[in-house]
Amino acid sequence: MAQGAFNYSKVKTGPGDVTEFNKTKLARFTPDGKRFEIIGWGPCNIWGLVVDRLGEIFIQEANDQGWPMMPFLEGASYPLCGDDVPRPYAPPFPKLGEKEMGGTGLSGLALSEGSDSFPGEFRDVFYIANPITARIQAIRCHRGSRRGNEADGANPPPYVRGYRGYGNGWQLEHLPDFLLSSDPWFRPVAIQFGPDGCLYLVDWYNKIISHNEVPRNHPERDKTRGRIWRVRHESQPPRTDLPNLYRAPENELLDHLRAANTWEVNAAWQEIVDRHAVSLAPRLAGMVMDDSQPNDLRIRALWCLEGLDKVEPAQLEKLATARHRALRKEALRVARGAVAQSSSLPVRSQLEMAERGLADTDRLVRQESIRLLDELVERVPTRELPATEVISILAEAATQSPGEPDPKWRGYFDSFESYLARSALEKHPSAVAAWLDKDETRETPALLSARAFAAVAMGGTEGAKRLAALLPRMQRGPSNEELLVIASVPNEPRANGLLKTALAVPSTLRLLYDNRSRLPDHAVLAPLLTDALRSLLARDPSDANQDLLVKLAAGFHLTGLEDLLVAASTTPPAGNDRRLAVLRALRESGSTRVDVFRQFATSGNAAIQREAVSALASAKSDAAVPALLEVWPSLTPALRKAVVDRLAGTAASAKQLLVAVRGGAIARDELDGYTLDKLSIVLPDDAALKRLVAELGSSMKPVLRLDGGDGDYVDTDITLRGPFTVECWVKLDPGINNQDSILAGAGALDANFHDSRFRVWVGGAINDIVIATRPIAPEAWTHVAFTRDADGRFRLYLNGELDVTSQAVEKRDFEHLKVGYSNPNGGTAGEPAEFRIWTLCRSSDDIRATANLAMESRTGVSPVSPRDSTLAGETPALLYHGVGDSWGKLHGTAHIERTSDLPPLMTEIEAKTLEEKFAQFRALANQPGDLVRGQQIFSSTCGVCHSVHG
């Protein structure tokens, strides 16, 4: 079972165990629902899975990033979409591809195997369905003995079809495209070899192949046609005698289990298990035990016995010593399952099988042995097999890896097997401690390494104590993982000494910084880091060490390094990045260096100024507010708002803020309703604040606030058909771009501000149908509007004036639109107001006439029919009206806040009064003037300073 890149689930088993199954995972479960376990991490969207005739698994990732197809190892981590890994030390699976396949929708995987499948150069090839490029692509996977037709299959041969051997590793060979269609509608979305040995392709047959880039109702989306293609090699005879295994007698199922066709043999295996055909068990056992039978048949017979619960110890012991690696691997895998099911397989026999597998030259066999040992120590610690014996074997296996010719795969396999062993040991700290505390007379270097590995796996204080006792005897420095364990208990005497020595090396400091999330108590570690950094800078104040100082000071919130940090920010080589990091480090460590923050608060670099001002507002110093007031005139409105918000957070700074407001240093309109609410919480009994709230209350109005989060919008469901008008006032935060939008729907429409210019994007071939000719300013109210007429032509308006008309036309409907929603990642950061959507194309005069008019809410927040609106005495053309605190259901962190910074709106009464004044002046302007009296007025009033023709 695969979990997609953006999906979240909780899976509950029959017994009631719950597993979080979130994002980019691969899992398996038993048919009875009793067990569910995650076995893979990382691939974004798995569209293809192949289990070959020898039991090796291959998966295919939709988003080709150099892993178009990959072998699947249980417990492995693939560094693709997900950032979740099974353990911090789990190694990423290496990249296999020499080139990418193209596109982001690889949608199927099929392997040509079996003697009735494609012959010659088309045999043993993986075929990949690529609907984006309209191709069937081909790959050959090289790995020594992966195929079943090698002479003995015991070890990887040095060369395979001209490719050098990769030992136990894999390499993909990209072959010429197998199929390319000239029909742009050809979209292969699934692929599989059928019961006749032919390759079957499911063709979506759709010109548009996408998720949300193109609307679901686009006319070029085909929802009625589809095709299935069959590809047959000319040498393959047509097969019409396809077996119906569902109706086949039990005795005939064994004949089908021997078939050349892969689909047929798999169907026979599943039928035997589904029918619980235990009468076939003796003959299946005979196949397993017969060395003359094909390797893949022996494996399928073993799978049948496993499903029937009829596996005998002799069968596993026989296969565990077979010449072919796949037989040995499957014997260990089945033995592991038998342990979990409490079978009668002797525990000592299982242990001997596992130990023999650890010495195997094939790394997949070795990994199966480690998994078997994990199951043994988990399920059956008995007198016959004490847990400490298994712990010892696991620890030694992790530190004594076999040779591997290819360096890339040697590094990966060593790390992967250590990860498997360590994750097994971590489950049993008591057993690990018991083994570590046993007296050992044979203290060899190999044994010491194994014991140190076990101590790392044990972790915590007890593991660190034992590790600290071992390391001095090992005649080497600690590894990275050992250092992290030691650093987790810095106050332990033995660990403290080792750590102090290690911290003298810059690489250790970098290691701790990169892994700080794995260290449980930063405060305990802080004094050691502070001393180490002082010593390091005294010895070598290089730029690299200065940057290291800043990183650790910020990452661990180190205090007592202010002088070094200030020096690092003010020396001539210090760039803006370092200055910014220093300011952040000082702020997060609670510094009160107001002088430093004041120095940078007037910086021309916006990021530095913002950080310095934030540090001033956070500083617990009486000098902080006066310093802020000094730089106040140079601050942007957004910075002022952030400062006021921080100062309102504590009683001491809130009192200083009130003093500044009463004295006029900070204008009253800098305080919005949210700030007043905060002030009332921290200063509940302050009389001056109560008077201020009473005075400001009448001037504050509610507005919608969107903070830029991906989920911040109004959860409307608006559909625009035919002519329409969308208009609103908007004030956006700095950094205006296409994540700032007033109205959007996935793949349909997005009215956003890319590059600060208002534009309307529509899905399909047109995209930006109309773009404003000039940008809007941040932190200033602007009226924006766009319309569509009956011909499908769009127009944009800025502050009531027509700015641009589209050349293209688009008449289709736009569905599921949300106010403030944004199609790109991120969301709108700003405040919309007086949001109106009309079911008609308003004229320029209409938009200009009402842009500054505050209309009373007429239609509420939900789309209503003209009939319903008319019955209510409302305006039929007004489809949606968002105003004040009436917007509809708010999503994410979208919220209503009160502010006195409002768009220049008038009530209808105020607008009528103003219109009467303008009418009076227009009337006067249209009357003939009095030339003589005008000259007199000019001479007495204007002529004092001005002259005509002078």
Residues 6+ apart with CB under 8 A from 684: none
In this predicted model, which residue has the larger pLDDT, 16 or 103? Answer: 16
State residue 925's pLDDT score: 78
Question: Do residues 299 and 55 touch, judged by C-beta distance below 8 A?
Answer: yes
Q: Which of 473, 407, 460 is nearest to 433 (CA)?
A: 460
The span from the CA of 696 to the CA of 677, in Å, is 12
Neighbours of 607 (CB within 10 A): 13
Closest CA to 593 of 568, 572, 612: 612
Q: pLDDT tier at 673 (50, 70, 90 boundaries)?
A: confident
**Residue 421: inside a domain:** no
Q: In which band, very low, low, confident or very high, does the pLDDT at 340 lie, cut at 50, 70 and 90?
A: low
With CA atoms as reference, report the closest residue to 529 among 547, 506, 546. Answer: 506
* Confidence category of residue 949, pLDDT binned at 50, 70, 90: low
Same domain (yes/no): 114, 134? yes
Q: Domain end: 190, 206, 231, which one?
A: 231
Q: Which is more confidently placed, 477 or 548? A: 548
Whole-angstrom Cα distance, residue 775 to residue 798?
10
Is the pLDDT at 343 greater than 70? The verdict is: no
Over residues 42-90, the pLDDT tens digits come to: 888 888 999 999 999 999 888 777 778 889 999 999 887 767 889 999 9
Tens digits of per-residue pLDDT, 805-845? 999 999 999 999 999 999 988 999 999 999 999 999 999 99
Q: Is 289 domain-assigned?
A: no
Q: Is the dihedral of CA 770, 771, 776, 778 positive or negative?
A: positive
| Residue 267, in any domain of the structure | no
Is the pLDDT score of 863 beyond 70?
no
Q: What is the pLDDT of residues 591-608, one digit of tens each?
A: 899 999 999 998 889 899
Q: What is the pLDDT of residue 231?
A: 97
Q: Are residues 53 and 192 in the same domain?
A: yes
Q: Are residues 890 and 927 in the same domain?
A: no
Residues 833, 730 contacting (CB under 8 angstroms): yes
Residue 515 lies in a domain: no
| Total tally of structural domains belonging to the chain | 5
In a domain, 395, yes or no: no
Does an H or E element contain 379, and which?
helix 363-379
Supply 229's token pair: 């293609």
Mean pLDDT of the region 900-929? 79
Query: Residue 876 — very low, low, confident or very high, per pLDDT cuts 50/70/90?
Result: low
Could you tell me which residue, 562 or 150, shows the higher pLDDT?
562
Note whether 177 and 137 are within 8 A (CB). yes
768 and 676 in one domain?
A: no
Helix, strand, or coil (residue 369)? helix
DSSP bridge partners of 795: 787, 805
Asked whether residue 751 carries a pLDDT value surpassing 90, the answer given is: yes
Contact 263, 194 (CB under 8 A): yes
To which H or E segment does residue 898 belong?
strand 895-899
Share of the chain above pLDDT 70, in %: 92
The CATH number of the domain holding residue 864 is: 2.60.120.200
Residue 378 resides in a domain: no
CA 808 to CA 796: how far, in whole Å? Answer: 13
| Same domain flag for 937 and 900 | no
The H or E element containing residue 544 is helix 543-555
- Domain end, chosen from 646, 680, 699, is at 699
pLDDT-based confidence at residue 253 (cuts at 50, 70, 90): very high
pLDDT band at 209 (very low <50, low <70, confident <90, very high): confident
Mean pLDDT of the chain: 87
Domain boundary among 231, 264, 298: 231
Residue 941, pLDDT score:
75
The β-bridge partners of 495 are none
The contacts of residue 453 (CB under 8 Å, 6+ apart) are 395, 398, 399, 418, 421, 422
Are residue 68 and residue 178 in the same domain, yes or no?
A: yes
Does residue 927 have a pLDDT over 90? no
Same domain, 598 and 673: yes
- Same structural domain for residues 733 and 800? yes
Quote the DSSP letter at residue 500.
Answer: H
Which residues 6+ apart lie within 8 Å of 617 measured at CB?
624, 628, 642, 643, 646, 647, 653
**Beta-carbon contacts of residue 439 (< 8 Å; ≥ 6 apart):** none
Q: How far is CA 783 from CA 10, 321, 580, 836, 900, in A?
A: 46, 80, 36, 11, 18
Whether pLDDT at 158 is above 50: no
Residue 149, pLDDT above cutoff 50: no
Is 126 inside any structural domain?
A: yes
Domain span at 930 = 912-942
Residues 729 and 672 in one domain: no
- Which pairing describes strands 8-12 and 18-22: parallel, antiparallel, or unpaired? antiparallel
Q: How far is CA 610 from the centre of its chain?
A: 28
User: What mean pLDDT do residues 579-602 have?
Assistant: 90
Domain match, 62 and 199 both: yes
Instruction: Give the three-class secondary structure for 171.
Output: strand
Give pLDDT, residue 934. 77
Higher-confidence residue of 54 and 97: namely 54
Query: For residue 150, what pLDDT band results from cuts at 50, 70 and 90?
Result: very low
- Phi and psi dihedrals of 648, rounded to 5? -80, 0
What's the pLDDT band for 942 if we cut at 50, 70, 90?
Answer: confident
| 670/768: higher pLDDT | 768
Looking at the fold, whether 16 and 96 belong to one and the same domain comes out as no
Q: What is the DSSP string of 905-919?
A: -B-HHHHHHHHHHHH
Cα of first residue to Cα of last residue in the chain, in angstroms, is 90
Report if residue 15 sits inside a domain. Answer: yes
Q: 627 near 616, Cβ under 8 Å?
A: yes
Indicate whether 839 and 715 sit together in one domain.
Answer: yes
User: Is residue 868 very low, low, confident or very high in pLDDT (cuts 50, 70, 90)?
Assistant: very low
C-alpha to C-alpha distance for 57 and 2, rounded to whole angstroms: 14
DSSP assigned state of 472: G
Give residue 147's pLDDT band: very low, low, confident or very high (50, 70, 90).
very low
Segment 878-894, tens digit of pLDDT: 999 999 989 999 999 99
Per-residue pLDDT for 872 more than 60?
no
d(CA 360, CA 328): 9
Q: E strands within 508-633?
A: none
Question: Residue 18: phi, psi to the nearest 5?
Answer: -115, 130
Above 90 in pLDDT, residue 641? no
Query: What percent of the chain clears pLDDT 90, i.e. is strictly above it?
Result: 57
Structure tokens at 799: 């502050």
Mean pLDDT of 676-694: 86
Q: H/E element holding 730?
A: strand 724-732
* pLDDT over 80 (residue 521): yes
H or E element that contains 10: strand 8-12
**What pLDDT score was predicted for residue 474?**
86
DSSP assignment of 653-690 equals HHHHHHHHHHTTSS-GGG--HHHHHHHHHHSTT-HHHH
